[in-house]
Structure 1
Amino acid sequence: MDFTQKVLIITGASTGIGEATAKKLLSLNAKVYNLDIVQKEHKGINFVKCDVSDYTSVKSAVKKVLEKESKIDLLFANAGIHLFANIEETSIEEFEKVLDVNIKGVYYILKEIIPIMKSQNEGKILLMGSDQSFVGKGKSSAYGLTKGAIAQLTKSTAIDYAPYNIKVNCICPGTIDTPLLDKAVDKFKSLTGMQNDEVVKLLEEAQPIQRIAKPEEIANMACYLLSDENSFMTGSLVPVDGGYTCQ
């Protein structure tokens, strides 16, 4: 895969899967822009401060990239937050925050990027789903809701913009070794009194492949879905979950 001359925006690329994907695409010659609220210095990766839950911030960030590059070829709407809680345990403030980042944040970036790609008559978009785009999990009412919504947003957007040669797909990771997982593990430990290694073992044993994935493994698939080699897929939900959702 070669991304030479391709301009890419990734939201939330300062940590986790976004960071791993940004580094991989940089190594494949892409011009990478990280839109995030937290800056992390990576040589060759351009940082633009952006709060995806704030439409004005998203609009400003995309404008800065477009003014500098005159085009945007690729988008990975990766930014998201997790919440380990059932409905009763979720405050209204927490609920609204998860929706603001995981749903509104994706919608806002699409609203700004799609007209640009339409004018180019070309583009590739990747949304961040989850194994919970397919299946339910306990203590995940708000987070699971958002990932189900992203699955449907992928499909409808793919249909709407196929005539403009814009391909829209959704990558759906399972249990991945990221800061989001660390927070979920800490919450689970506080609720159960279990030790860290006990929780990790439970997570590993829940996967048919019997381990937790590294962010780089998800990044590899993300790169393919954004590449020219992906010439026919659109509207697809792609599980990368060690077999979890096939059980």
Structure 2
Amino acid sequence: MGKLDGRVVIVTGAARGQGEQEARLFAEEGARVVIADVLDEQGKALAEELGEKSALYVHLDVGAESEWQAAVAAAKDAFGKVDGLVNNAGILRFNELVSTPLEEFQQVIQVNQIGCFLGMRTVAPEIGDAGGGTIVNTASYTGLTGMAYVGAYAATKHAVLGLTRVAALELAPRNIRVNAVCPGAVDTPMTNPAQLDPEADPVAAGEAVAELYKKLVPLGRIGRPQEVAALALFLTGDDSAYITGQPFVIDGGWLAGVSVI
């Protein structure tokens, strides 16, 4: 028996990185997973690998309301219901606050904050109609503190935590639990763009990232997307049945403070 047997869960940004690992783990635990992304080729390949009984790919720009409605309709048509959502999709831009163009700031908000809002607003009624379920929002370490050069990103992740708490209060009467994962640095293309650069030396890039987080993180390394997926599974399954409205930091101890050793 899997921990998510009988569940139907939409995972956004699921074609690669953290979302891909969440989709894989959820399917292994018995869920039927709706892989939602704008990376059509990768998303379709993942769905095909997992099998049509376990996975469906849908194109979804999380900042577009009409695409959310279409994704939910496709999920219900394929699997009959929706009783789980992982709002994982997000983008990161590095820029000094006073140098950040308004367009760039708004782009990050559209995906990270409005995408999360639209996901909850669209999917929560379906989860309620299914008898209850869970929503897991992907916030960030930076949603609980500050970090230079990621002002737009940090602002949206603070907002995601606020939305999570409000949603938890409002949706509890419909038997819907809402929590947030707050990753620190995780070894994905978003954190390490060199993974997507065909001209980059992957070994050198990996070594540079490893050296950086060896110094910054008490546990001495960058996080793995599979580790975040395991936390999302916990918050989606019955093991967390009495938990709602909470942020869960998974950062190797980074937020704990500064070590002088």
When normalised by structure 2's length, the TM-score is: 0.87
Greater CA drift, 139-148 or 80-89:
80-89
Is the CA contact (8 Å cut-off) linking 1:83 and 1:184 kept in structure 2? no
Give the one of 37, 46, 55 matched to 2:56: 46
**Aligned residue pair count:** 239
Q: Which residue of 2 aligns with 1:155?
A: 165
RMSD after superposition: 1.7
| Percent identity between the two aligned chains | 31
Hey, what does 1:25 align to over in structure 2?
A: 26
Matches within 5 A, 1:93-172: 93-172=103-182
Counterpart for residue 199 of structure 2: none
Which runs of 5 or more residues in structure 1 are unaligned? 187-194
The one-letter code of the counterpart of 1:76 is V
Residue in 1 that maps onto 2:240: 230
Aligned to 1:190: none
Stretches of structure 2 lacking an aligned partner (at least 5 in a row)? 197-203
Find the aligned partners of 2:155 and 2:195 in 1 and give their Cα distance.
Answer: 20
Render the CA deviation track for 1:188-230: whole Å, top value 9, x for unaligned. xxxxxxx844454223311011101110011111111100121
Give the letter for the 1:12 counterpart.
Answer: G
Counterpart amino acid of 2:188? Answer: T
Shift of 1:184: 8.6
Supply the distance in 2 between the matched residues of 1:108 and 1:125 (Cα, whole angstroms). 13
Please point out which of 88, 97, 101 is paired with 1:91: 101
Distance verdict in 2 for CA 1:200–1:84, change over 3 Å = farther
CA contact under 8 A between 1:167 and 1:235: conserved in structure 2? yes
- Compared with structure 1, are the counterparts of its residues 51 and 151 closer, same or farther at alpha carbon in structure 2 (3 Å cutoff)? same
Compared CA separation, residues 74 and 88, structure 1 to 2 (3 A): same
**Matched residues in 1 for 2:15 and 2:79: separation?**
21
Query: Offset at 1:88?
Result: 2.4
- 1:241–1:216 CA distance, 2 compared to 1 (3 A): same
Tell me how far apart the structure 2 counterparts of residues 185 and 149 of structure 1 sit (CA, whole Å): 28
**Counterparts in 2 of 1:203 and 1:185: CA distance versus 1, 3 Å:** farther
